[in-house]
Structure 1
Amino acid sequence: MLNTIRWGILGASKFALEQMAPAIHLASGAKLAALATSSNSKALAFQALQPDLRIHDSYEALLADPEIDAVYVPLPNHMHIEWTLKALDAGKHVLCEKPLAMNASDFDQVIQRRNSTGLLAAEAYMILHHPQWHKAKELYEAGRIGKLLYVDGIFTYDNSADPDNIRNKPDTGGGSLPDIGVYTFGSARFVTGEEPISVDAQIKRENGVDVFAHVTADFPSFRYNSVTSMRMFPRQYMAFHGDKGVMKLNCPFNPSVFGQAELTLERAGMVTETLRWPETNHYVLQVESFCRSIHTEEEYLCTLEFSRGTQEMIDMVLATE
């Protein structure tokens, strides 16, 4: 039996409490062992989940803990590179929330440090661990929709009532593109294996961050269209439209929160196939995949190189302004 990976979390964020701490707790081969926070009240919320959780009052103290094997980093976006590198230098494997970097070139130093240390470092891009996306890729590669011509996606929510949210602040790496553009862009790249040739965008900003982005792009074999926004009623959807059929994912990104994961394949003759995953937790699968990759030669599903490619597309979009 493989040894259990002992996890520490840098920072007591709301998302860490609601999603990743429970996922680490539930994942096979993982143990939630430590948390770095100076807030007693926040620490108590995590200890309710894991009573023997060790609490460190600084990030540095957690990284110095010899009983921690891997670190999850849910800090504000602008702090991701700094603490990912510090964790690697401390001899810890690192799973960092997306976006790992604010521009593609910043990935290079993490890739170099990963290679030189031999440790696993990755972006917490959970959707690649959900079976609906592997089924989508399988159906696409099997030619079930014929020649792909058009990909359409949307991911929206409204946080206008929360101006102090880090996503609404430019100094913490806010904006809809860093936060959720990674999903509409990355999922299209994952299924098709293609990279954009050119992009165009209409972007609306408030307080220096993009709150709406309509992006169109030409890929080698298809046209791409997406909308991301932090000022619209919540909606998420991805569709892959070919000359022989269309494949739709109605809850592609947050199936544990937004609704039930469902993939529908429509083909000629009104033939429709629908697959559903009502119980799958992609955060748990993400942790389990990370732990397996530490112990074995199994390549982690979301490599730094893949995440860098998504950031390159975001950089291309921002360069259109």
Structure 2
Amino acid sequence: MTDYIRWGILGAANFALRHMGQALHAAPHGALEALATGSPEKAAAFHARFPGLRIHDSYEALLADPEIDAIYIPLPNTLHVDWALKALDAGKHVLVEKPLAMSAGAFDAVIAKRDETGLMAAEAYMIVHHPQWQHAKALYEAGRIGKLISVRAVFSYDNSDDAGNIRLNPDLGGGGIPDIGVYTYGCTRFVTGEEPEEITYVDIDWENGVDVYAEICARFPSFRYHAINSMRMFPAQEMQFHGSEGLIKLTAPFNARVFGEARVELHKDGFETEITRFTADNHYEIQVEAFNTAALHGGDYACPLEFSKGTQAMIDAVFAAAKREKADG
């Protein structure tokens, strides 16, 4: 093992080409060195951006590469668990795109394999590594908004003109909630440290077996929660934590620098607003740096598998509530 992490990407996903490949290459203590794909065209696109990248024509060949320490998996959602287990069995650390699994129970096999091998394994839930979320959590924990009463979440985009989009394929784990509900649900758990007690309201529109609009309400131990996620609405994203003495607002909570400037606003009495801006931080690179450090030296990691399992449990509860409502209706 070197003193840095040598990364390989399992599958030539466009997201890996546009975002994560550069993060794997640029983050301290690591470098992107290999890719597995059977597509010469996709391989060429990666090679143009990352000269010197070794190309394997099968996933198995990448896992067998002795000069690779860690595998990033951006495959379709339904393939995540199987390939994460194979990567760990091959002696590789593994970072898996979210959602890592399609049910909370499916996390258990990966958690067990992580513990058995002693390797690093995590879901690529990048937002909790971003300093805007660390700042929002610190404001909340310091009591700056008093008693938290309500959390409101919005994350939407429109892919209705992209029939081939993987998010619209139910056989590959598509749907708005698995894609972006994971953010609106998980960040609430991250900031507050609380888990939902009950899903009190759910309204979901389905197309071709995937959710394209989901509005939910939930009761947490100390506050109420309302979220809208949609793949059929004008792009929007915002998080609000509304307390008895103030309000925390994040204006680009999930796609910082892409959607807009990451800004945390603390609204207080007298219309006073404290604004903290995070203009240059790249949460993908910060996430990879944190992963590299944990894989090399151990220590705490902001998004362990147990945290990600909790978010999936909330997603499971939302779908279960929708199923009960449909049966009752």
Under a length normalisation based on structure 2, what TM-score does the superposition of the two structures give? 0.96
Q: What residue is the counterpart of 2:257 in the other structure? A: 256
Instruction: Measure, in 2, the Cα distance between the counterparts of 1:307 and 1:264.
Output: 26
C-alpha deviations, 1:204-237, integer Å up to 9, x for none? Answer: 1000000000010000000000000001010000
State the shift of 1:39 in Å.
1.2
| 1:139 has 2:121 as partner | no
For 2:119, what is the secondary structure of its paired residue? coil
For 2:7, what is the secondary structure of its paired residue? strand
Q: What residue is the counterpart of 1:98 in the other structure? A: 98
State the shift of 1:295 in Å.
1.4
Superposition pairs for residues 1-321 of structure 1, below 5 Å?
Answer: 3-199=3-199, 200-321=201-322
One-letter identity of the residue aligned with 1:275: T
State the shift of 1:46 in Å.
1.1
Instruction: Measure, in 1, the Cα distance between the counterparts of 2:280 and 2:41.
Output: 31
C-alpha deviations, 1:152-199, integer Å up to 9, x for none? Answer: 000000011111111001000000010000000000000000000000
Paired residues of 2:4 and 2:296 also in contact (CA < 8 A): no
State the shift of 1:48 in Å.
1.8
State the shift of 1:248 in Å.
0.2
Instruction: Measure, in 1, the Cα distance between the counterparts of 2:166 and 2:82.
Output: 17
Under a length normalisation based on structure 1, what TM-score does the superposition of the two structures give? 0.99
Instruction: Measure, in 1, the Cα distance between the counterparts of 2:83 and 2:284.
Output: 21
For 2:123, what is the secondary structure of its paired residue? strand
One-letter identity of the residue aligned with 1:119: L
One-letter identity of the residue aligned with 2:313: E
Instruction: Measure, in 1, the Cα distance between the counterparts of 2:311 and 2:320.
Output: 14
For 2:309, what is the secondary structure of its paired residue? helix
For 2:321, what is the secondary structure of its paired residue? coil
Paired residues of 2:26 and 2:285 also in contact (CA < 8 A): yes
Instruction: Measure, in 2, the Cα distance between the counterparts of 1:203 and 1:293.
Output: 39
State the shift of 1:38 in Å.
1.1
C-alpha deviations, 1:71-130, integer Å up to 9, x for none? Answer: 000000010001001000100000000000000000000000000000010000000110
Gaps of 5+ in 1: none
Instruction: Measure, in 2, the Cα distance between the counterparts of 1:270 and 1:206.
Output: 43
State the shift of 1:49 in Å.
2.3
Instruction: Measure, in 2, the Cα distance between the counterparts of 1:256 and 1:15.
Output: 16
One-letter identity of the residue aligned with 1:313: M
Instruction: Measure, in 2, the Cα distance between the counterparts of 1:93 and 1:159.
Output: 33
Deviating more after overlay: 40-49 vs 142-151: 40-49
Instruction: Measure, in 2, the Cα distance between the counterparts of 1:194 and 1:308.
Output: 14
Q: What residue is the counterpart of 2:325 in the other structure? A: none
For 2:138, what is the secondary structure of its paired residue? helix
For 2:270, what is the secondary structure of its paired residue? coil
One-letter identity of the residue aligned with 1:183: Y
One-letter identity of the residue aligned with 1:248: K
Deviating more after overlay: 293-302 vs 198-207: 293-302
Q: What is the aligned length? A: 320
Instruction: Measure, in 2, the Cα distance between the counterparts of 1:237 and 1:278.
Output: 17
For 2:183, what is the secondary structure of its paired residue? helix
Paired residues of 2:103 and 2:313 also in contact (CA < 8 A): yes
